Amino acid sequence: MNLVSIFLCSFLPGTLLIDPLTAGGILGASSVLFGTRNYIYCQFRECCQEPYIRSNLPGLKEALEENVFGQHIVTETVIKSMRMHLRKDQPKKALAMSFHGWTGSGKNYVSNFVAESLYKEGLNSKFVHNFISTLHFPGQDVEAYKSNLQNWIKENVTLCQRSLFIFDEIDKLPSGVIDAIIPFIDFHEVVDGVDYRKSIFIFLSNTGGKEITKFAYKHWENGMQRKDLSYSDLEESLNLGAFNELGGLQNADLIQKSLIDMYVPFLPLEKSHVKLCIRRELEKRKTEERKQMEDRSENDFVSLITFSDEDIDDMADKLSYWPKDVEIFSKNGCKKISGLVDWFLEKDWE
């Protein structure tokens, strides 16, 4: 019988006539009952534990390799960073990754796959939090944004340490706002009674995209293969671009304090990668159409989508590329592919 039980037995209403041994049994039964109730609850609702939160990232490597084209550095860097962080019972700090590159290069796509792999409920998980700068921080009220952001992060990490925070369009974030998260990604075991070290922060930005593209183009001009580009080749120029370019990370203290663990460079996509995106989108539409056929009666007829390599070439040729004289890199990556396929599926494509 511990002192807490004796204290409760002595002073709590209804316990004055119960001997300490009996009271201890009641407290123990209450703990078991609470644990059972929690177990039952987690059978039907998402909880901050297995199987709702996974530690082995099932399917992430395959998903990135099959759906994110031309980004070998991204695949290797993100998977390695995530695995190193998740295998530690007590990480030294929260994981902070900053994704940089031209629009349409796959930054949102990769962050979505991370969420889908880490949480059973994927992007619908209550432990995944998306911030879009132009939506959630549209003005210049920096101090109010910083206060609200800190409160939001604290409340959610208090509920679940393994929370994922994704900041999209961080290059459009008012300067100084992002420094509000410094206490949560710094080397602190506890901040105001909360441990943030198991949390994950991902920043998506177009800053640094120019430096990445220039480096990739020079690499191509020198007759070298894209697959030979490595993280270390791009790290220095990417860090400088993120820190100096106008946007949410410009002159940010969290960069000066080296609190971002990985700057992940997304290479500009070439026409061959755009064609792979088009093929994937067409196959996706075909799968969706086949499912619709299965849900209909046998008397209904729906023609399956058909396309050829020439159709894919034709669609890819309708997009813009850089530099103009050699047209190596897609200006918009794969961002316009869905709309392009919509047009192709119409009868008046030509």
Instruction: Give the residue-averaged pLDDT of 114-142.
Output: 96
Q: Please confirm whether the linkage preceding 51 is cis (ω < 30° from 0).
A: yes
CA-CA-CA-CA torsion sign (252, 256, 258, 263): positive
Residue 302 has pLDDT above 70, yes or no: no
pLDDT of residue 211: 86
**pLDDT band per the 50, 70, 90 thresholds, residue 13:** very low
Helix, strand or coil, per DSSP, at residue 135: helix
The predicted structure's pLDDT at residue 242: 63
Q: What is the pTM of this model?
A: 0.85
Based on the number of CB atoms within 10 Å of its own CB, is 273 exposed (0-12), middle (13-18) or buried (19 or more)?
buried
| pLDDT band at residue 8 under the 50/70/90 scheme | very low
Per-residue pLDDT, 281: 95
- Mean pLDDT for 170-190 is 93
What distance in Å separates the CA atoms of residue 266 and residue 212, rounded to the nearest whole number?
8
**Which one is predicted more confidently, 295 or 86?**
86
Q: For the range 48-54, what are the long-range contacts, defined as Cβ-Cβ under 8 Å and sequence gap of 24 or more?
A: 48/127, 48/159, 48/160, 48/161, 48/162, 51/120, 52/119, 52/120, 52/121, 52/125, 53/118, 53/119, 53/120, 53/127, 53/160, 53/162, 54/117, 54/118, 54/119, 54/120
pLDDT at 12 over 50: no
Spell out a b/e string for 183-199, using b for 16 or more CB atoms within 10 Å of the CB, else e.
ebbbebeeeeebbbbbb
Residue 304 scores a pLDDT above 50: yes
CATH superfamily of 60-266: P-loop containing nucleotide triphosphate hydrolases (3.40.50.300)
DSSP H/E element including 204: strand 200-205
In this predicted structure, what is the pLDDT of residue 10? 42
Residue 29: is its pLDDT beyond 80?
Answer: no
Contacts of 209 (CB under 8 A, 6+ apart): 100, 101, 102, 103, 105, 241, 266, 268
The angle, 0 to 180 degrees and rounded to 10, between the axes of the packed helices 72-86 and 107-118 is 30
Rounded to an integer, what distance in angstroms lies between the CA atom of residue 95 and that of residue 82? 8
Percent of the chain scoring above 90 in pLDDT: 67
pLDDT given at position 5 = 45
Q: At what angle do helices 60-67 and 107-118 cross, to 10 degrees?
A: 160
What lies within 8 Å, CB to CB, of 169 at 6+ separation is 132, 133, 134, 204, 205
What is the H or E stretch that residue 262 is in? strand 262-266
Higher pLDDT, 197 or 347: 197
CA 172 to the chain's CA centroid: 18
pLDDT over 50 at 201, yes or no: yes
What's the token pair of residue 290?
């086949």
Confidence of residue 68 (pLDDT cuts 50, 70, 90): very high
Task: Please write the tens of the pLDDT for every residue from 236-255.
Answer: 777 666 656 656 576 678 88
Which has more confidence, 164 or 20?
A: 164
Inform me whether the pLDDT recorded for 58 exceeds 70. yes
Helix (H, G, I), strand (E, B) or coil at 267: coil
Quote the pLDDT of residue 209: 87
For range 105-119, the mean pLDDT: 97
Low-confidence winner among 15-24, 92-101, 312-321 (lowest mean pLDDT) = 15-24
CATH 3.40.50.300 residue ranges of the chain are 60-266
Summarised one tens digit per residue, pLDDT across range 100-110 is 999 999 999 99
Q: What is the pLDDT of residue 127?
A: 98
User: How many Å apart are CA 82 and CA 200, to the nearest integer?
Assistant: 9
**H helix or E strand, kind and range, residue 349:** none
Radius of gyration, alpha carbons of the chain: 26
- Residue 6 pLDDT class (50, 70, 90 cuts): very low
Average pLDDT estimate for 61-90? 95
Whether the CB-CB separation of 48 and 162 falls below 8 Å is answered with: yes
Q: 91 or 7: whose pLDDT is higher?
A: 91
Q: What's the pLDDT band for 328 if we cut at 50, 70, 90?
A: very high
Report whether pLDDT(154) > 60: yes
pLDDT value of position 1: 47
